Amino acid sequence: MGPLRYATLVTAGIVGVFATASSNFRLDNYGIGSGGTSNSSSSSYRLNGISGEVSNTGGASTSYKANSGMNPTMQAHVPAAPTVTNPATYYNKLHIVISNGGNPTDATFAIAISTDAFATTQYVQSDNTVGPTLGAEDWQTYTAWGSASGFDVIGLAANTTYSVKVKAEHGDFTESAYSAVASAATVSPSLTFDIDVSGSDTETAPPYATNFGTLLAGTVADSPERIWIDLETNGASGGTVFIASANTGLKSLATTYTISALTGDLTSLSEGFGAQSASATQSGGGPLTAQSPYTGASNNVGITDTLLRQAYVSSSPITAGRGSLLLKAKSKTDTPAAIDYTDTLTLIAAASF
């Protein structure tokens, strides 16, 4: 057996760490005392040294931003600009569709709104109104904000331009920056009303009159012209057309006799006068609907008296509403003869804002 040889290595503390390398990784020149490292990388790995908190200038793109200090790797994506429209000439609301910006389904979004380019800012509340503060409940998911269909923000001022922007979050410390801004305007409240008197659906000018001619006893006569009404309004609850009479029937001053207005079937009644809806249409919104007692068929009529009675109603905003009323009258054999049987009808429109 040959001689045994020994070598002794004495260390005092840890002086350093030798670099180690392979085909998969490499560690270069680590110093323990400084707590840092020089650039250390390979085709597979990169290690950044940290000595305290490393300062950086931040990173950014069109979708996200990372501020200096520890990188917020869970920051929510910045949504795209929302879509803001006024699809039905609203005077007190606008329609908003937000983008989820590629965020997870449980991400939440806050919506800021302003009338002065965000010199002052308000926020869309969870009940779709506008308020001065942003509460935790006002951060809602993409689904809660209506998804791709969107929602109406309500309680806005008329004839005003609103700017809207959106931000997202997905847990604590993940709030994104605001999106780009989109804008739309409300309009002024409006009500358009007109009448025409014609045998066909045409526009006419005042004075408005129709003449039954000679009433044959026991025969129901139709007025040769209809009373046509035009109704259009952006009132949130639509509009109503009322009708009233000065004489509650066809009155003769010469004979002091009145063929009374009534509700009923003139076929079976001996005498009477009334109105009947002949048509009701619209091009949008509404619908425009005739109201009882003017909804009868054949010779059934509704009374026109000194009360303001609803003739047509639309319960929502309506565009180009058009209706027509036909007048019907019947005299009896002992109705006093005269040429001055007349009545004055008044039609009034009102909108519900």
Give residue-wise pLDDT tens across range 246-279: 999 999 999 999 999 999 999 999 999 999 999 9
The mean pLDDT of 134-161, rounded to a whole number, is 98
Superfamily of domain 83-185: Immunoglobulins (2.60.40.10)
> Residue 193 has what pLDDT?
98
Predicted TM-score of the model (pTM): 0.73
Per-position b or e across 119-133, b if 16+ CB within 10 A of its CB: eeebbbbeebebeee
CATH number of this structure's domain 191-351: 2.60.40
Residue 20 to residues 24, 25, 28, 32, 37, Cα–Cα distance (Å): 11, 8, 7, 15, 14
> Residue 338 has what pLDDT?
97
Average per-residue pLDDT in the chain? 87
> Residue 24 has what pLDDT?
59
**More confident: 111 or 20:** 111
Indicate whether 41 pLDDT > 80: no
CA 271 – CA 268 distance, rounded (Å)? 9
Q: Where in the chain is the domain with CATH 2.60.40.10?
A: 83-185
> Residue 40 has what pLDDT?
54
Q: What's the pLDDT tens digit per position in 183-242?
A: 999 999 999 999 999 999 999 999 999 999 999 999 999 999 999 999 999 999 999 999
Nearest to 293 by CA among 281, 317, 311: 311
The DSSP H or E segment spanning 347 is strand 345-351
Number of residues that this document lists for the chain:
353
Answer yes or no: are the C-beta atoms of 215 and 250 closer than 8 Å. no
User: What confidence tier does 56 reach under pLDDT thresholds 50, 70, 90?
Assistant: very low
Q: What's the pLDDT tens digit per position in 341-352?
A: 999 999 999 999
The mean pLDDT of 39-47, rounded to a whole number, is 56
**More confident: 321 or 172:** 321
> Residue 88 has what pLDDT?
86
Nearest 5 degrees, angle CA 191-CA 197-CA 201? 80
Backbone angles phi, psi at 138, to 5 degrees: -85, -10
In the chain, the N- to C-terminal Cα span, in Å, equals 113
> Residue 51 has what pLDDT?
45
User: What confidence tier does 148 reach under pLDDT thresholds 50, 70, 90?
Assistant: very high
